[in-house]
A and B are shown apart, each in its own frame.
Chain A
Amino acid sequence: MKIFYALMLILLACGGAMAKEAAQLAEDPVVEQRLIAISEEMRCLVCQNESLAGSRSDLANDLRRELRTLIKQGKTDAEIREFMVSRYGDFVLYRPPVKPTTWLLWAGPFGLMIFGVGALFVYLRRRNTDIAADSGLTDEERKRAEAMLQEGGK
């Protein structure tokens, strides 16, 4: 196999005249970059588990063609998104828009984190007093015991 390829390479090198730096598939790389950035965040409606950027279905090809036209016309990202949403609904966006129905979605995780850490803090404080209360020692005694345990623990 390797010999075969080596021969091919030699032939190509000799024939060599037509070999060149490969051309970009896209007509305009700048437009293409923007297209990829925008369409990566959109869902292909046919094979619904691929992004519009990656899908090879007919509809995806057509939609990318439309988006390319819009980009060339100078439309902003928001306008392009609006183009898609007015035809296919919010479903087409992989990044859910922030609206009342998605407040819980966007605020939930951070809210939960703050709530979780806060609740933990409150719980830990209360826990120590609960344990102290359970233990039957007076505050004085408890402090002495803690101090002794501290020293021992080191």
Chain B
Amino acid sequence: MIPELGHFALILALCVCLVQGVLPIAGAHYGRREWIVLARPAAQVSFLLMLGAFVSLAWSFYVNDFSVQYVAAHSNSKLPTLFRFGAVWGGHEGSLLLWVFLLSGWTVAVAQFSRTLDDTMVARVIGVLGLVTSGLVLFILFTSNPFDRLLPAAEDGRDLNPLLQDPGLVFHPPVLYMGYVGFAVAFAFAIAALLSGRLDAAWARWSRPWTTAAWVFLTWGIAAGSWWAYYELGWGGWWFWDPVENASFMPWLIGTALIHSLAVTEKRGTFKSWTVLLAIGAFSLSLLGTFLVRSGVLTSVHAFATDPRRGIFILVLLLLVVGSSLVLFAWRAPKVALGGSFALMSRESLLLTGNVLLVVSCASVLLGTLYPLIIDALKLGKISVGPPYFNAVFVPLMTPVLFLMAAVPLARWKNTDVKEIALRMWIPGVLALVAGALVPYLMGGWTVMTNLGVALSVWIASSGVIQVARRLKSGFPPASFWGMHMGHFGIAVFAFGVTMVGGFQEEQDVRMEPGDTVLVGGYQFKMIGVKDVPGPNYSASRGAFEVTKNGSDAKILEPEKRTYFSSTMPMTEAAIDAGFTRDVYVSLGEPLEGKAWAIRVYFKPFVDWIWGGCFLMALGGLFAMSDRRYRLRVKESVVVPEAASPPVPKRGRLKGATP
């Protein structure tokens, strides 16, 4: 009964979303007030219906209803409750339901927190969100229904993929999707601006907190996924340039460009068309990512089970959403008046340069990800494009961005003197050069890459600290100031972590018997033994290792090798002792003869700085969002520093229509 209710709720939600998508936008266009005011209530109703659908699926998992095909495929009566909940989004159908549920959540949030925005604008934004949601719900209902019944019901489920049976599953997808989906809001604002012809600083001010929020979630979500892969997969890597990882990274790159571009549009009224294009781009990449992951077009460890019908449907959806927005862009954007002028050397132009570099980086990732497909489609052969390519290309492209990042906050709007900036940056410059040469040497091996990495992180971090110190002299700066510097500082921390772990990690693959020791990275690992341990839905061999440094600070690490009842592949659960300056990492390999085991031991210096840096970046975004000016209850039509572009004349001026 419950699954059917859920299914019905989803169908109703589709109807409401269609109304929500069509009427308010038409109302804004024709000036029909009664249609415009439908937007907010429609958003609220559709959210409640989506919530109902989602809860009924979650309930089916909770009570182990194996007559629902999706539940039978992804759950098991022995599956711990926490993972049963996570399993709701463990497969294609459920994760799509999560997608639309979160999208309706963002929509209702926009409806709630936009009381001071004029109704016509809100109508358009919510309308666009409604249309996108409708498209996705149609996709679910026609090709990916999580409520399909399995009759006769299965005795027991096939169990959740053991790789997913981890707290990371409960956290990573929802947070990541909040980011992916959140860019739909920026997208909707952009489309609303194009539709109304009102592309001004006020629009940018409204978009900005929503866009930053989505960016914060995406940053968090990607970092969570990376950390999860690190401790779950058992061999210490944290980024593989896998197509699905790239699919989340590309919107992040464009999103970063977008939040910087919005800053300029808000402050100076310039870059309007560019910002709109970026907003369309970010969400388009989210949709593209959805396509890549679910269509079977690329090989990926993350890819869901695929079906060509699904691929075609999403491609059509992608074509409609992105195609129509780009047509709208080509039509309306040329009519937007140019903003104010600025010199070739100014904060605006430097930010724009950073934007261009970020877009180029994103395009490179896209090129590398899709190249095998392009070559295959052109019948030119079959190639692979993997980490060696991406690392070789991405690092040089991002280096100028990192370099600029430290200096741009010092640049003035409209016109800036490069010499002046250079003078103010001499201390960070010296610190960077010294640290870049010294730190790798002290760590035991200097290379060009480690020098560069350390130098860039010190360059960014030290200039940030100096700028903050200087600014504090003239009073306590606003939240947005802290946000910017926290975000940039986060990047410095991230870059440092990547450089250190990449350059100085140590690894040993050894054969150990109880009592044996091995020395890695200054730490001594002593094997105590391995014993068999049962789990709720697996049986495991658990090892015990004593780790000491210089004979003291003893810690016990217990890696496991699990065989889940539902799968034949054994799973490694590494044991990690995480620390501020290093992780020590032990994982069990294969059992050898007698009591011996193949053991892999790692020393990873500063690896947690990678995710620490991401956390700081996200925190910076939160600070930026919480700036007072977004919380001011501004009732007037916002004071705009630059003249708003004149409204585009519609076919016939209708009474009461606010363009």
Give Cα A50 to B384, complex, Å: 12
Interface residues of B in 474-531 (CB under 8 A from A): 508-519, 526-529
**Do residues B517 and A112 form an inter-chain contact, with CB atoms below 8 A?**
no
- B389 proximity list for chain A (CB < 8 A): 94-96, 105
Interface residues of B in 152-180 (CB under 8 A from A): none
**Do residues B509 and A16 form an inter-chain contact, with CB atoms below 8 A?**
no
Other-chain contact of B510, A25, A105, A120, A130 (Cβ < 8 Å)? A25
**Do residues A8 and B360 form an inter-chain contact, with CB atoms below 8 A?**
no
Other-chain contact of A120, B240, B338, B353, B512 (Cβ < 8 Å)? B353
Q: How far apart are B606's CB and chain A's nearest CB, in angstroms?
A: 22
Give Cα A62 to B243, complex, Å: 27
Other-chain contact of B514, A12, A95, A101, A125 (Cβ < 8 Å)? A12
Segment from A65-73, A74-82, A85-93 that makes contact with B: A85-93
Give Cα A19 to B517, complex, Å: 8
Give Cα A15 to B514, complex, Å: 11
Other-chain contact of B341, A16, A19, A112, A131 (Cβ < 8 Å)? A131
Query: B367 an interface residue at 8 Å Cβ cutoff?
Result: yes
**Do residues B364 and A134 form an inter-chain contact, with CB atoms below 8 A?**
no
**Do residues A101 and B341 form an inter-chain contact, with CB atoms below 8 A?**
no
Determine the residue in chain A with the shortest Cβ distance to B349.
A124
Determine the residue in chain A with the shortest Cβ distance to B527.
A22
Give Cα A54 to B240, complex, Å: 12
Q: How far apart are B302's CB and chain A's nearest CB, in angstroms?
A: 9
Determine the residue in chain A with the shortest Cβ distance to B556.
A5
- A19 proximity list for chain B (CB < 8 A): 514-517, 526
Interface residues of B in 343-390 (CB under 8 A from A): 343-344, 349, 352-353, 356-357, 359-361, 363-364, 367-368, 371, 375, 380-389
Q: How far apart are B364's CB and chain A's nearest CB, in angstroms?
A: 4
Give Cα A19 to B526, complex, Å: 9
Q: How far apart are A32's CB and chain B's nearest CB, in angstroms?
A: 8
Determine the residue in chain B with the shortest Cβ distance to A123.
B352
Determine the residue in chain A with the shortest Cβ distance to B386.
A94
Query: A148 an interface residue at 8 Å Cβ cutoff?
Result: no
Instruction: Known contacts A19-B516, A41-B388, A120-B352; decide if A91 and B382 are in contact (CB<8 Å).
Output: yes
**Do residues A21 and B516 form an inter-chain contact, with CB atoms below 8 A?**
yes
**Do residues A23 and B511 form an inter-chain contact, with CB atoms below 8 A?**
yes
Query: B45 an interface residue at 8 Å Cβ cutoff?
Result: no
**Do residues B364 and A109 form an inter-chain contact, with CB atoms below 8 A?**
yes
**Do residues A41 and B599 form an inter-chain contact, with CB atoms below 8 A?**
no
**Do residues B387 and A94 form an inter-chain contact, with CB atoms below 8 A?**
yes
Give Cα A71 to B397, complex, Å: 35
- A134 proximity list for chain B (CB < 8 A): 338
Segment from B69-77, B315-323, B409-417, B642-650 that makes contact with A: B409-417
Query: B299 an interface residue at 8 Å Cβ cutoff?
Result: yes
Instruction: Known contacts A18-B515, A49-B299, A105-B371; decide if A150 and B415 are in contact (CB<8 Å).
Output: yes
Interface residues of B in 384-408 (CB under 8 A from A): 384-389, 392-393, 396-397
Contact with B along A5-39 (1 / 0, CB 8 A): 10011001001101111111110000010000000
Of the listed residues A2, A120, A149, the one surrounded by the most CB atoms of chain B closer than 10 A to its CB is A120
Majority-rule SS of A interface residues: helix
Q: How far apart are A89's CB and chain B's nearest CB, in angstroms?
A: 6
- A110 proximity list for chain B (CB < 8 A): 393, 396-397
- B381 proximity list for chain A (CB < 8 A): 89-90, 101
Instruction: Known contacts A5-B556, A25-B509, A101-B375; decide if A120 and B516 are in contact (CB<8 Å).
Output: no
Give Cα A96 to B367, complex, Å: 13
Query: A132 an interface residue at 8 Å Cβ cutoff?
Result: yes
**Do residues B383 and A117 form an inter-chain contact, with CB atoms below 8 A?**
no
Give Cα A96 to B392, complex, Å: 11
Query: B48 an interface residue at 8 Å Cβ cutoff?
Result: no
- A91 proximity list for chain B (CB < 8 A): 382-384
Instruction: Known contacts A5-B528, A94-B389; decide if A116 and B359 are in contact (CB<8 Å).
Output: yes
- B338 proximity list for chain A (CB < 8 A): 127, 130-131, 134
Instruction: Known contacts A18-B515, A19-B515, A117-B356; decide if A95 and B509 are in contact (CB<8 Å).
Output: no
- A127 proximity list for chain B (CB < 8 A): 338, 341
Other-chain contact of A93, B384, B412, B512, B514 (Cβ < 8 Å)? B384
Give Cα A127 to B414, complex, Å: 13
Query: B4 an interface residue at 8 Å Cβ cutoff?
Result: no
- B583 proximity list for chain A (CB < 8 A): none
Determine the residue in chain A with the shortest Cβ distance to B572.
A56
- A26 proximity list for chain B (CB < 8 A): 509
Q: How far apart are B519's CB and chain A's nearest CB, in angstroms?
A: 8
Determine the residue in chain A with the shortest Cβ distance to B242.
A49
Give Cα A18 to B529, complex, Å: 14
Determine the residue in chain A with the shortest Cβ distance to B240.
A49
Give Cα A89 to B493, complex, Å: 40
Q: How far apart are B590's CB and chain A's nearest CB, in angstroms?
A: 8
Of the listed residues A12, A23, A104, A105, the one surrounded by the most CB atoms of chain B closer than 10 A to its CB is A105
**Do residues A21 and B341 form an inter-chain contact, with CB atoms below 8 A?**
no
Instruction: Known contacts A109-B393, A109-B397, A130-B338; decide if A24 and B363 are in contact (CB<8 Å).
Output: no
**Do residues B353 and A117 form an inter-chain contact, with CB atoms below 8 A?**
yes
Instruction: Known contacts A21-B517, A89-B382, A95-B386; decide if A49 and B301 are in contact (CB<8 Å).
Output: yes
**Do residues B383 and A49 form an inter-chain contact, with CB atoms below 8 A?**
no
Give Cα A153 to B344, complex, Å: 16
Determine the residue in chain A with the shortest Cβ distance to B363.
A112
Give Cα A97 to B371, complex, Å: 13
Instruction: Known contacts A12-B514, A92-B384, A105-B389; decide if A116 and B301 are in contact (CB<8 Å).
Output: no
Determine the residue in chain B with the shortest Cβ distance to A92.
B384
Q: How far apart are A22's CB and chain B's nearest CB, in angstroms?
A: 4
Contact with B along A95-138 (1 / 0, CB 8 A): 11100011011001110110011001100110110111010000
Instruction: Provide a sorted-by-A list of 25 A–B residue pairs whose CB atoms are within 8 angstroms.
Output: A1-B556, A5-B546, A8-B529, A12-B514, A16-B515, A18-B515, A19-B526, A20-B517, A24-B511, A25-B589, A26-B509, A43-B386, A48-B299, A49-B240, A49-B299, A90-B382, A96-B389, A101-B375, A101-B380, A101-B381, A109-B397, A113-B397, A124-B352, A128-B343, A131-B338
Closest 7 pairs between A and B when the two form their complex, measured CB to CB: A94-B386, A19-B515, A95-B388, A109-B364, A49-B301, A22-B510, A22-B518
Identify 17 new A-B residue pairs, CB closer than 8 A, beyond the known A22-B516, A117-B357. Answer: A1-B556, A12-B515, A21-B517, A22-B517, A25-B511, A25-B589, A32-B509, A43-B386, A90-B384, A94-B389, A96-B389, A105-B371, A128-B344, A131-B340, A132-B341, A134-B338, A153-B415
